[in-house]
Structure formats: C-alpha cells, structure tokens
Amino acid sequence: MFDNSNPSNRKPLIYYIVIAAVIILLMNAFLFPTLLARQVTEVGYSDFLTWVDSGRVSQVSLDQQSDQIIFLATNEDGQEQIYKTAVFPDDGLRARLEAGGVKFSAQIPTQNNPLLSFLISWLLPIALFSLIGRVLMGQMNKRMGGMNVMNFGKSNAQIVADKETGVTFADVAGEEEAKDALKEIVDFLEHPDKYAGIGAKLPKGALLVGPPGTGKTLLAKAVAGEAKVPFFSISGSEFVEMFVGMGAAKVRDLFKQANEKAPCIVFIDEIDTIGKKRDSGAGIGGNDEREQTLNQLLTEMDGFDGKKGVVILAATNRPESLDPALLRPGRFDRRIPVELPDLAGREAILNVHAKAVKLGSQINMTEIARATSGASGAELANIVNEAALRAVRMGRSEVLQEDLMESVETVIAGYQRKNAVLSEMEKKIVSYHEIGHALVAAMQSHSAPVTKITIIPRTSGALGYTMQVDEGDHYLMSREELLSKLTTLTGGQAAEQLIFGSITTGASNDIEKATKLARGMITRYGMSEFGMVALETVNGQYLGQDTSLACSPAYAEKIDDQVVALVGQARQKADQILRENEAKLHELAKYLLAKETITGEEFMQILGQ
Ligand code: ADP
Ligand code: MG
Ligand code: ZN
C-alpha cells in the first residue's frame, strides 16, 4: 500500500513538527511584539519636565518593573503618543504634575486591544498547527492508498454495486451445466415468495470452482444481470488489510450494505485469499488478520436471513485449499464446477466474441476451435481481439481466417518475433529439429496429426514450432498415445543428432515436457512395473503441475531410474524412425527452410509422394 517509488516524498512526521515549532517561535519573537505593541518613543527627563510645564502631558504612570516613567503626551502634530523616560530622583515631581493638572496614577496601556493580542498569540498558532496537521494527514492518506486514518473501524471497501451488470447468460457460452445450476438462484431472486411459500430455503452461497479465465466472474455477473438485482463485488485480496481488524470491518460493512439492498448478489472473487484453511501451521500470529476476516465472514453468513434474498457467490481456482468451515451447510454448500470449454464450447465462445468484430465471409470457427484445445474462455476472447488488431495492422476493414489462425499462435505460443535474426546454420538446425518432431509423429499410429510447422521465432523463446491437433477433444489418453507423444517429443533432438552429429540447447522445452510426461506415467497413471500405486500426488487440482512425492526415498530413486529408461526408449524409437526415413527428413527440412512455414496438408503431400 505504501508507494515506495518516491522515497524523497516520505519525510518523517517529526520533520514537519519541528518546522512548525520553529516558525511559531520566530513569529512570537519578532513578528508579534512589533505588531501588537504601540510605538513608544524615549525622551530625556528634562524634556519630560518641560512638556509637563507646557501642558502637553496628559497622563503619567510609573512602570515599577523597568523603573521608567511612561507618559501620554501630544506630539508636534497634536496627536497623543506614548513616551517613556528614565526615572530621575526628583522630589518636586509630584507637585509639578499636580500643578500641570496631569493624571499620574493611571496605567497607560502599551499594548493594543487585549482581544486582538489574545487572538494573535494563541489562536493563530493553533490554527496554524491544525492546518499543518491536515496537510500531513492528507499526505498520509494518499500514501495509504486513500484510506482514512481517522476511520479505523469503518470499511472503505471498493464494493461495486452495479445496478445492472448488463451481462446475461447469453454472454456466457458453453458452461451449460454451470448455467443450469445458477438458473435456480436467478429464479429465487426473481420470485422469492414462491420459495418462501413452500418453506424452501435456498443455499445462501454457491462456490464457482474452475481454472482461471473460464468465466467464473462473468457467470456471477450474469446471475445478477438475469435477475436484475444489484451486484456487489469484492476480491478476497481486498480484504487483506494493513491493520488487523480492517478486513473484518470490511466484511461487516459489505453485508450491511447488501442487507439494505436485498435482493442482491454478493460476489467474492478469489475467496481462497481469505478462505484458506486456518491453523495450517503457518507460524504464530502470522495469519491473525486473515483468520479474523474469515471468522467474520462465517459469522455474517450464519447471521443473515436467507429469505431476504442475499445470495453469496464466490469464485476460486483452488477449492482444495479452502477452510472446511466455509463449505459447511448454510454457507457455500453448493459447488458449481466451471471447466475449460470443450470443442463445441470453444466454438460457441469464439462466436460470442466474434459478434463484436466485423468478420469476413470465409470464416471457419470450427477450425479455430480445433486448434485451441485447452484454451480458456479468456484466451479465446483474446484470440478474437488479437485477430481484429491484426486486421487493422494489415489495413483491412474485416477479420479474415488468417488473422484468427495467426492470433491462435500469438496467444497460445507467444508473439511472432519479427526482427529476430537467425543465422542460416541456425535456421537449418531448427528446420531439421521441427521436421524431426513432425516425421516421428506422422510415422506412429497413435499420434495426433501435424497441422502446421514453422521456423518463425516466437517471443516465448521458441525458435520453431510444430503444431499437432487432435481431431476431437480428449479427456482420456491411452498408454500408447502417451508413448507416441513421448517419442514425438524426442524427435527434435534425434534429428539434430542424426543429421549434424551433435545436439544443441534447442530441445530444452521438449526435454522438460518429456520428463514430466514420463514421470506422470510412472508415478500417477500406473503405467509402469510399479502398477497402480500413487507415488506422487498433485497439489493444485487446477493450477497444479505441482506434484509432491508420496513414497519412500528408496522408491524415489527407482522412479528416477524408470523415468530415464522410459525417455531413453522413446528416444531410441525416434532415432530408428528417422534413420528409416532420412531421405524424407532431408526433403521436408529443405522445403521448410525455404518456405519457413508449411501447413499440415503440404507436409502430408510431400510425405505421401
Ligand atoms: P475467471 O473469473 O474464471 O477467471 P472471467 O470471468 O474473468 O474468468 O473471464 C475473463 C473473460 O474471458 C471474460 O470477461 C470473457 O470475455 C471471457 N470469457 C471467459 N469465459 C467465457 C465464456 N464461457 N463465454 C464467453 N466469454 C468468456
Ligand atoms: Mg475472475
Ligand atoms: Zn522441439
């Protein structure tokens, strides 16, 4: 929350206080006395006597402290003025004053209006201090991200209450199961009486669970949009505050507002940020704030009246990390999976987003959907937008199929690197490497067909890229398919070795993927001599490539041996395939080197000759 980018702006408080104190002291010492005191002129004692005699003096007093005579007399211009003179031992002074008719007991004020002097010497500094204080506070607030320091107890949650989210279920493509589950909630929000009449209680909360970018936020908004109720949205990370207790205050405030606006939707995004399991051994005191916030959330959920029509939706991509207390009945007891879209889903999502752009007549969305297996809704939306941007760059007024195809690669494999300079030799090596993959894939019966091979570098760092696309969507992969995939991955380096007699660093990504795949086959899929034993467990259901060992160190060693053996076998098979097809390898690599990009059809044509 603190802006650390400009440290010179961050002088300590004491700095300002010292400056203010110095200013006020200086004012008191120099400015105020001269401002406040009337001018007093000093004259000689003899002059004083002469003026008394001539009747110019009207009033005289003795200032005991300074031992001076202060007197009032008319000056040359005929105006009264204050004068002073040193006291001189003079026994006849009293008689002389009486003779001149001078009042001599009265005190002559050397100061102006007492009210004014009070104002200046007391109120002005106070006003000054509070002004400085205000400025300081303002600066502090700015640094604390707009938090009001004086309002510790009150929430400043950025609660977004959109009267109309404007999103409907029609904007969410695919995800039919999730939509069906949410339609009941929409109905409840529209006709609460129907449910109250029969005595049915709808779940207070539903948890949308799925990988990032699958449309969880979009679905929550659509529920509010369909039911035409306000939508309160807050992200779990916004609850985590600098001060202990602030997060809990935000929760309280959120539910107070929601209760006032019922019926409505409260959407808590990234709920895992606050909803993590409590007491997960993270150390003492470290999680106080988060736990307080979570406890407050649980309390509020239990406390509010479900019949009023406040429905809480939450989203997470790590359901396994949530505190079980959140999932108990009466809380988020409904879990709605929001999965990555399948082939039909992807096409539908592409079409939803394509409505916003101007398409040419020769568009085949099925082809795009085919090429984007595993992409999320957010990535598909991005592909359509990238295609539109590319069309503009090319000076066209509509999006063509090639724009879409190109942006599939930009989004999925990184942007084309226009000015990467590869030497001829490097290009040659990359060509053979990529054709190696493609050829090994084509020569095995269980691998997906090659659709595109390119040696145009990507910003992702890849110098070449062989795209393989499955005919349909796969949820299950057989051992044979995995093995041929593994062999295909080793094909790149196998080709380098065969043709150039040495290998390059170009295969690092292949190696990583192959290792992971082989490991998974052994430790998780039961496809090795160990049989159906889970030797590793996956940590994150959705985010998780993350695995941890679940076996003894002795087994860990054996697993490593098996991984090495499995990848080694695959590599041998690739070597063999390439040796048997060396002529084709040369022919195809030369063709690719010349054209830089070839399609699957071109590839199959040359191969089939
Ligand atoms: P999540 O909350 O699951 O991470 P979002 O709802 O924020 O994902 O999705 C981000 C964007 O991706 C949406 O605004 C939308 O443009 C697009 N999107 C994601 N899923 C879909 C879908 N099923 N249908 C249409 N658009 C989608
Ligand atoms: Mg989201
Ligand atoms: Zn490779």
pLDDT in tens, 82-101: 888 887 777 777 777 777 77
Domain end: 304, 337, 370, which one? 337
Q: Is the CB of 585 under 6 A from ligand 1?
A: no
Instruction: Lowest mean pLDDT of 150-164, 230-244, 282-296, name the range.
Output: 150-164
**Domain presence at residue 418:** no
Question: Do 428 and 407 reside in the same domain of the chain?
Answer: no
- Provide the annotated active-site residues: 434
pLDDT computed for residue 83 by the predictor: 83
Percent above pLDDT 90 for the chain: 26
**pLDDT single digits (tens) 17-27:** 777 777 777 77
431 and 571 together in one domain: yes
In angstroms, how far is CA 392 from the centroid of its own chain?
Answer: 30
Which ligand is closest to the CA of 317, given by its number?
1
Q: Do 240 and 178 lie in a common domain?
A: yes
Ligand 1 proximity of 352 Cβ (cutoff 6 Å): yes
Q: Could you tell which of 172, 180, 214 is best to mutate to test the pocket of ligand 1, judged by most ligand atoms within 8 Å of the CB?
A: 214
Ligand 1 within 6 A of 173 CB?
A: yes
Q: Is there a single domain that holds both residue 436 and residue 500?
A: yes
Domain count for the chain: 5
- 377/431 same-domain check: no
Do 65 and 132 share a domain, yes or no? no
Indicate if 407 and 327 belong to the same structural domain.
no
Residue 186 sits in a domain whose CATH number is: 3.40.50.300
One domain for residues 599 and 459? yes
Residue 141 has what pLDDT? 58
Q: How far apart are CA 55 and CA 98, in angstroms?
A: 11
Please state, in angstroms and as integers, the Cα–Cα distance from residue 293 to each residue in 238, 283, 296, following that order: 11, 18, 5
Helix residue ranges per DSSP H, 229-334? 236-239, 246-261, 272-275, 288-303
Is residue 2 included in any domain, yes or no?
no
pLDDT of residue 419: 46
User: What's the pLDDT tens digit per position in 463-497?
Assistant: 787 877 765 556 788 999 999 999 999 999 999 99
The reply to whether ligand 1 has any atom less than 6 angstroms from the CB of 215 is yes
Strand 231-235 vs strand 264-269: parallel, antiparallel, or unpaired? parallel
CA terminus-to-terminus distance, the chain: 66
Asked whether residue 248 falls in the same domain as residue 394, the answer is no
Residue 419 lies in a domain: no
244 shares a domain with 124: no
The answer on 146 and 244 residing in a single domain is no
Tell me how far apart the 2 most distant CA atoms of the chain are, in Å.
144
State if residue 175 touches ligand 1 by the CB under 6 angstroms criterion. yes
Helices of type H across 304-376:
343-354, 365-370
Tell me what the pLDDT averaged over the chain comes to.
80
The residue whose CA has the least distance to atom 25 of ligand 1 is 172
| Among the bound ligands, the one closest to the CA of 213 | 1
User: Does the residue 528 lie in any domain?
Assistant: yes
H/E/C letters for each residue in 557-578?
A: HHHHHHHHHHHHHHHHHHHHHH
Give the Cα separation of 81 and 108 in Å (integer).
Answer: 11
Q: Using one digit for the tens of pLDDT, what is the confidence trace for 267-325?
A: 999 888 887 776 655 445 556 777 888 888 888 888 776 667 788 999 998 888 888 88
Under 8 Å between Cβ of 367 and 402 = no
Residue nearest to atom 14 of ligand 1 (CA): 218
In a domain, 580, yes or no: yes
**Smallest-distance ligand from the CA of 462:** 3
Q: Establish whether residue 222 lines the binding site of ligand 1, counting it when its CB lies within 6 angstroms of any ligand atom.
A: no
- Boundary-marking domain end, from 317, 337, 357: 337
CATH, residue 356: 1.10.8.60
How does residue 157 score in pLDDT terms, banded at 50, 70 and 90?
very low
Mutate to test the pocket of ligand 1, among 218, 316, 382 (most ligand atoms within 8 A of CB): 218
Reference 103, options 154, 151, 60; nearest CA is 60
CATH of the domain at 46: 3.30.720.210
In whole angstroms, what is the distance from residue 570 CA to residue 507 CA?
15
**Ligand 3 midpoint to CA 583 (Å):** 20
Do 389 and 506 lie in one domain? The reply is: no
Range of the domain at 377: 343-413
